[in-house]
Structure formats: structure tokens, C-alpha cells
Amino acid sequence: MHRSATDPRPRVLHLAQPVGGGVARVVLDLAKAQLTAGLRVTVACPGGELAERARDLGAEVRGWRADRSPGAGLPDEVRRLGRLLDEVRPALVHAHSAKAGLAGRLAVRGRVPTLFQPHAWSFEAVGGATAALALRWERWGARWAHRVVCVSEAERATGVRAGIRARYTVVPNGIDTGHFTPGERPAGAPLVVCVGRLCRQKGQDVLLRAWPEVLRRVPDARLALVGDGPDEAALRRLAPTSVEFAGAVADVRPWYRAADLVVLPSRWEGMALAPLEALACGRPVLVTDVDGARESLPPGHAAHCLVPPGRPGALAGTVAALLLDPELRASLGGQGRRHVLSTHDVRRTAEAVAELYRELLGGRPLVSFECRESIHS
């Protein structure tokens, strides 16, 4: 249901290209908090799970056709977004991830307050000439972001080292600690769970290469990969029979609660949600030392729960050592739950973002876009 143009409540536009995974989760958590606070919220995306769930929350949803990666269709994507912006007329635009950040900043060009949240830098996801182009764009496009929101201090530092001159704000990721709660682990053989999109970023191939050594030391261990993605067929070719491909699931909590250990062997991140969710469920996590990983762990956990990225041998040794030490796992899980409650509750994240919105608009209530100059004038 569309509200009257005279509705005095401010409108925020969240722009996202990924419609699943961590980016969608962040958008939905923010939209829920902002709707509760009385803002009008529009989510523009290519449909899918994000659109369905945003609509269920009460947000206005606008379709924005866009591919995941930049290509020949980018000019049309920017034009479509420009028309959408003229129709929605938001007080503030919050663009999530590389593609929405690219198209959004090209369409708005700083004419209304614009936040760009990379959710991991685009130039880390590619190599060669493509990485150079992505970095060049991020340096150039920073002028059209009133603030770049990083989910970890490490992500911000990566941007600074790369020469991206921007006004940065660090807002750590948060999760719903009332939704992700501990539960009793079912009886059975030791279970390692990896939750994430099946793609190069998440590093499931590294975990599968480590798995034979884990089995040599813990012969009855099992591994479950929870999620789907473009690398599924290749990963299945690497996997022995002790590996289960669970696919995408509507509710990941039973997998966390069934796990003895949750592993995320990423090649790059900003700050992944899966480790925070697992910690909230009272389960120990093992992560690779990429952006945001150390910051997501409780103090003292790095000695037990952090390994170099892309190193199957180091990963195998640490997975096996944790599986063979149930007392340490129990201690780590309990500490992890307390850490997430105190540091990564989604309410903290939503309030930090709300404060940033207020700051960008001079500390006053968000004003409606109806009073502003058209972005195409």
C-alpha cells in the first residue's frame, strides 16, 4: 500500500543487488528496525527472497533489474534506478554491496545523502585488470558517498590502504540474539558445519582439501555444507562420502545447534554473519584471518579459532584439535554467546546506523524528498 505524498514521515531507500545471504540479512534487519522507529522504508532490489521478506515486514518494495557484476547492462541499470529514485523521492539512500554502490552513486551523484556499505571490498573479489578497474572506481566513487560504512575496523583499514579517500564510519555487524539461541546438541558423531554461499569467497574448497587430514585424526567426523551457489558441482567433485550438501535452508539454527564446530574458511570478508550466529547459539567457531574475523571473536579466541586463509594444512590441524577437545569447545561456545550478547546484538547496529542518518541530516529529523531538487535537474 502506497502512502500519500503528504505523509510527513521520512523515507529511506535501501538499494541492494544480492537478494540472499548476508547482504539481504543486513538490509532486512535495518528495515525492520527503521519501520519500528516510524520511518518509511523502500527496498529496491531484483526481487527474490529479499523482496518477499521486506514486503512481509511492511516495507515498500520496488523492482530494480540488475546483474550481480558490472557489464554492458550497467548504463540501463543506472537509468532504471534514476527513474525509480524520481518516483520514490527518498530523504536518504543506503546502497549495499559493490553493484548497488556503483549504480546507486552514479544515479544519485551525491545530490541526496548517500551511504555506501561495501560488505567486503569489490577489488578483493577479483584479480588482474578487473581488480584494478574496481579499485579505480572505488577511489573515484568515494566522492559521491557522504559516508562509507564498514562493518569492521579491518575493512576500513583495507579501504584506507587502497587509497580510497572517504569519510568512514565503522558499524560492526549484529545479529538477532533472541532468534539465535543455544539448543541441545543431538547425539552422534562429531559434526563440523560450514554455512555460506557455495562460492570462491567462502573457501569451502579449502575446507574440502583439508578434510582428508581431519578424517585421519578424527575418523568418524562428519562435515555439512549448508548453502547453495555457483561452485556446488565443483565442490561435490572434491567431497568424500562423509560430506553432506544440505543446500539452502529456511532456518539455519538447527544446523548450528547440531554442530560441534562451525567453520568459515573465507578468502575475504567484511565481517561475516555466520560466525556471529554460531557464537550466539553457543557453538565455537573457527575462521580464517581475513577482514573482520578477529573483531568478531571474543578476546583470547584467536589463539584457538583463527587460521591463515587458503591453507588446508593449518585448517585441518586446528579443526582436528578442536574436535578432540570437548572441554575447550564448551568453554569457547559459552564465552562466544556472552560476547555476541554484549557486542553484536542487532539493536546496537540499528541504533548506530540511525545515529549516522541523523548526523548526515544535521541532527534534525529526516526531511522528505518532496522538498528536494530532482536528482536529474
Q: What is the pLDDT of residue 377?
A: 31
User: From CA 151, how far away is CA 153, in angstroms rounded?
Assistant: 7
**Which grid cell is 298?**
571474543
128 pLDDT higher than 90: no
Q: What is the DSSP string of 12-28?
A: EEEEES--SHHHHHHHH
The domain 11-174+345-371 is classified under which CATH number: 3.30.465.10, 3.40.50.2000, 3.40.50.720, 3.40.50.1100? Answer: 3.40.50.2000
User: From CA 85, how far away is CA 90, in angstroms rounded?
Assistant: 7
Strand arrangement, sheet containing 222-226: 243-247, 222-226, 191-195, 261-264, 285-288, 306-307
371 pLDDT higher than 70: no
The domain 191-343 is classified under which CATH number: 3.40.50.360, 3.30.2290.10, 3.40.50.2000, 3.30.70.3450? Answer: 3.40.50.2000
For 321-357, the pLDDT digits (tens) are: 999 999 999 999 999 999 999 999 999 999 999 999 9
User: 47 — alpha (psi -120 to 50), left (phi > 0) or beta?
Assistant: left
Q: Is the pTM of this model over 0.85?
A: yes
User: From CA 191, how far away is CA 198, in angstroms rounded?
Assistant: 19
Q: What is the mean pLDDT of the chain?
A: 91
- Where in the sequence of the chain do the CATH 3.40.50.2000 domains occur? 11-174+345-371, 191-343
| Residue the block writes with cell 519500528 | 36
User: Which of 34-43, 50-59, 97-106, 126-135 is predicted least confidently?
Assistant: 126-135
Q: What is the pLDDT of residue 241?
A: 87
Q: What is the pLDDT of residue 375?
A: 35
